[in-house]
Chains A and B, each alone.
Chain A
Amino acid sequence: MPPVTRGAVTISADGRPVSVSAGVTVAAALLDAGISAFRRSVSGESRAPLCGMGTCYECRVTIDGVAHRRACLVTVAEGMHVTTAAAAGAGTDGRP
């Protein structure tokens, strides 16, 4: 992992270390890391944030092992592990 700079945190996005500014949301961090598919829909489409405010549930990812967290509502934290369903190769929206 790259050294943590002042005002920055490093998260793991689909297994890749990503350095982002402290205080940004997981959604913003993933978009800036070039991830455009946050989840796969029930018919296998790539989906990414639509509403940005917690309404649409399109930005659902797994955060530190907790599935279906809305990436637009969670602020990044040092060492946070984020997994997108798209990267997991799931052909569904990853429901339990």
Chain B
Amino acid sequence: MSAVAGSAPSARPASGAHETRADIVVVGAGPAGIAAAVRATEARRRVVVLDEAPNVGGQIWRHRSVDTLGTDARAWVDRLARTSADVRRGVAAVDVVVGGDSGDVTVVAERHLGGVDVIRASALVIATGARERFVPFPGWTLPGVTGIGGAQALLKQGATLRGKRVVIAGTGPLILPVAASLTDAGARVVLVAEQAPFQAVRDFALSLLTQPETLLQAAMYRLAFLRTPYAMGTWVTAASGTDRLTAVTVANSRTTWTLPCDLLCTGYGLVPNVEMARFVGCTTADGAVVVDDHQGTSVPPVFAAGELTGIGGVALAVTEGEIAGAAAAGVARVDPSLSRRRQALRIVARRMERAFALRQELRSLARDDTIICRCEDVRRAAIASFADSRQAKLYARAGMGACQGRVCGPALELLFGWQPGTVRSPLEPARLATLSTAALAGAASPDAVHSAGS
């Protein structure tokens, strides 16, 4: 099916679709998206914000009631609510076209429980954040194994963890607050395993002395779960159980041991969600979207803000969002104080990345029969002899499933050094009805229909 081109936007009311004209469309309502939407509406632009989740906030500001949010988060969420921004939750952007006849941006979004939104705007701010990096190891597909962000998300969604024995394994300062919040929720965190060696953790902690506030925060989290063993230079090698997790095997450089547990949360860092940006042609480097001083990408009028431009944390995401929102609204000059803050936060982020680099042992945990692609149940032995991720996809279906390689892609890179393949529309699995709407709206690529149905 080819895209319908050449007619005026308003003259193609796609059947069943809800069409909206805006100045700026923001994809993602996490800290960066919220800040961008706030700044853009304050500059009197009509803004539509799209997010998959039932509520704004993204992952770090996830909430069911604003009363549970911290001061900063609450302030931004409240500020967004006071703007004229048209915030749509529970919708997934499945297709985007930049340029074409009108020079506009068209975003097609599917509502989770039915319905299609088509938004046309003069600028696009991509604020799709990041996802967790998963390292495949024997047993990682068992129910009871989640990401640390996943566990925290499920907790905030209302799941009960009281009394559950939890092992947290991963790397970086993020695992500490998660351990603290799971403990607060009544879980028994029996081990926190940091894969980085003691020296790396200590050096990073010392480097934070220039940011006393951050250090203090980390220390407070540490105190909150003081009874929990925090083992550095330690990692999980396997999870076991029949039909659900019952135990994990843990290793350090000297020994391995097994301990019973109900929930294993792994956190091996974050992966920028660059799929939409790559789909529209934005240049990336080292897995992150390349942006200029205005957060502009290589494809005008597309801006990117937050974790997808490089993992840097919530403060950096907000700062980038503010800059992107203003720039998308046509404000020519970048606020110098925002620019300075962005630079300082990026330096800390790079330091963190170095301190918590993944150890070599994690690349060889998967055995021949360990599943690498969870959507298609592709095991390591089925792909190990291929040359790249494209071959693994074409011949063994790795990355062909519903998540479209979002989980196994970074794993393939870690295990084999393979770069992710081409991003195609639809950006998320979509219904055929959505795809036909997308085609009518002039937003579908010919590939869209072929890759439908998963």
Contacts and interface: CB of A to CB of B under 8 A. Distances in A.
B113 A64 contact: yes
Interface residues of A, number: 44
B159 A28 contact: yes
A81 B10 CA distance: 38
B144 interface: yes
Interface stretch (B51-59, B77-85, B207-215, B386-394): B51-59
A46 B141 CA distance: 8
A43 B377 contact: yes
A11 interface: no
A46 B403 CA distance: 17
B346 interface: no
Contact of A46 (B114, B243, B453): B243
Helix, strand, loop or mixed for chain B's interface?
A: loop
Contact of B64 (A23, A49, A58, A64): A23
Contact of B160 (A32, A48, A70): A32
A41 B374 contact: yes
27 contacts: A23-B65, A24-B64, A27-B157, A28-B157, A28-B159, A32-B158, A32-B159, A36-B243, A37-B143, A41-B141, A49-B146, A50-B145, A50-B147, A52-B152, A52-B153, A52-B157, A55-B131, A55-B403, A55-B407, A56-B374, A57-B375, A57-B401, A68-B429, A69-B113, A74-B90, A74-B113, A93-B375
Contacts of B146: 49-52
B406 A56 contact: yes
Nearest 7 A-B pairs (CB), nearest first?
Answer: A24-B158, A52-B153, A48-B143, A52-B150, A57-B402, A28-B158, A28-B159
Interface in A19-76: 20-21, 23-25, 27-29, 31-32, 36-38, 41-43, 45-58, 60, 63-64, 66, 68-70, 72-75
B112 to A, nearest CB: 6
Contact of B90 (A57, A68, A73, A93): A73
A95 interface: yes
Contacts of B131: 51, 53, 55
Contact of A25 (B142, B157, B429): B157
A37 B245 CA distance: 12
Nearest to A26: B157
A52 B156 CA distance: 10
Contact of B149 (A41, A53, A68, A74): A53
Nearest to A36: B143
Nearest to A70: B112
Contact of A95 (B59, B65, B407, B453): B453
B158 A51 contact: no
B154 A57 contact: no
A96 interface: yes
B176 interface: no
Given A47-B141, A57-B375, A66 B147 contact: no
Interface in B413-436: 429
A55 B153 CA distance: 12
A36 B146 CA distance: 12
B113 A66 contact: yes
B113 A54 contact: no
Contacts of B376: 42
A21 B376 CA distance: 34
Contacts of B157: 24-25, 27-28, 52, 72
Contacts of A68: 402, 429
B159 A50 contact: no
B377 to A, nearest CB: 4
Contacts of A75: 54
Given A25-B54, A25-B154, A27-B159, 16 more contacts: A23-B64, A29-B158, A31-B154, A42-B377, A43-B377, A47-B143, A49-B154, A53-B59, A55-B131, A55-B407, A56-B374, A57-B429, A68-B402, A73-B52, A73-B90, A93-B375
B402 to A, nearest CB: 4
A41 B243 CA distance: 12
Given A41-B377, A50-B150, A57 B160 contact: no
